[in-house]
Chains A and B, each alone.
Chain A
Amino acid sequence: SNEQMTAAERLVPAGLKALCDAYSRLYPEQPNPLQVTTRLKYWLGGQDPLDYISMYWNPGKSEENIPPHWHYVSFGLSDLHGDGRVHPEGGLESGYGLELTLRLEAAGPAPLWPATLLQALARYVFTTGNKFCAGDHISWHAPLDGDSESRVRHLLVAEDPQLPAIETPHGTVKFIQMVGCTGRELKAAQRGSGFDVLKLIAEDPRCGGSWLVTRARRASARKVRSARTGTAPALLAGVS
């Protein structure tokens, strides 16, 4: 069986295995999660750069107002294979040096729209070469879940609170979490700091808690709303 294990380890590419291990450490009780995968892989001419997006169930922490949610984690912005088929070899970072995550409050089965959203964001990175960093904001201009009543129509970028950066045989990988936000929160981030808005969202018990769980149907965080009328600190931050 040692020989079989060696063969299995050899056949699962090192970059992919490093991500699987990182996700398994967080969810050891879910060794076989559902994944959204691509029929035609990106290196064979497919349009979707993320080979896999795993969907893990996370119970949250009710005592901290963190609701139960689905945790979507990507495979493909970092170098999974290390053989130059997608990313150039070498360098300190593995591929683009990041993978995307998103947490979505949901009671039933995992909705699949976050997978298409993450694929679209990954396509942007591959097309432009621009990476996402914590504190960034993304104007999406459409309800993330396709529901026209949702006010959550844009994204803020944070570091995933439960997935620290890892070292892989192909370089480092950070886990960058997409956080749904309202138009008002986006404007506040544009005027001032994305980190400040993330903090306000995390502190509002109605908004997903400190793990920044996206709630598709929520209003703007309270203090962001009040900051709209008193924008001086955010404006001054840009002047200095």
Chain B
Amino acid sequence: FNVMNNSNLVVCHLERNMAQLMAANPKHENKMHKIEEEKHDVNKAIDEIETVSDVQDIVEVKQKVKSVDT
């Protein structure tokens, strides 16, 4: 039942609340896992992009060095 006109507050026993929490937690864990996976994918993509640009930078530097030599 509602507590003192606050419809958001209800009275239950601890065991029931913990059972509800445990039932809800895998969903939350799955959601968090998906978010982590997405973050990981984004980071991986960024890493790859950085790697490509690094290679390009190195190539550019080498070319500049060569041009100076010549």
Contact = CB atoms under 8 A, between A and B. Distances in A.
Partners in one complex: yes
Interface of A: 8, 11-13, 16, 20, 31-40, 46-48, 52, 54, 83, 112-113, 115-116, 119, 146
Contact of A112 (B4, B13, B14): B4
B14 A39 contact: no
Contact of B21 (A12, A32, A112, A115): A12
B9 A116 contact: yes
Interface string B13-50: 11101100110011000001000000000000000000
A36 B3 contact: yes
A83 B32 contact: yes
B7 interface: yes
B12 interface: yes
Interface of B: 3-4, 6-15, 17-18, 21-22, 25-26, 32
Nearest to B20: A37
Contacts of B21: 11-12, 16
A40 B22 contact: no
A20 B11 CA distance: 17
A116 to B, nearest CB: 5
A47 B8 CA distance: 8
B12 A37 contact: yes
Contacts of B17: 35, 37, 52
A239 to B, nearest CB: 43
B13 A119 contact: no
Given A12-B18, A40-B8, A116-B6, A32 B13 contact: yes
B50 to A, nearest CB: 26
24 contacts: A8-B22, A11-B22, A11-B25, A12-B18, A12-B21, A12-B25, A13-B25, A16-B21, A31-B14, A32-B15, A34-B13, A34-B14, A35-B14, A36-B9, A36-B10, A37-B10, A38-B10, A52-B14, A52-B17, A83-B32, A112-B11, A116-B4, A116-B6, A116-B9
A34 B11 contact: yes
Contacts of A32: 13-15
Given A11-B22, A119-B9, 19 more contacts: A16-B21, A32-B14, A35-B13, A36-B10, A37-B10, A37-B17, A38-B8, A39-B9, A39-B10, A40-B8, A112-B9, A113-B4, A115-B3, A115-B4, A115-B9, A116-B3, A116-B4, A116-B9, A146-B4
Given A8-B22, A11-B21, A112-B3, A48 B8 contact: yes
Contacts of B7: 39
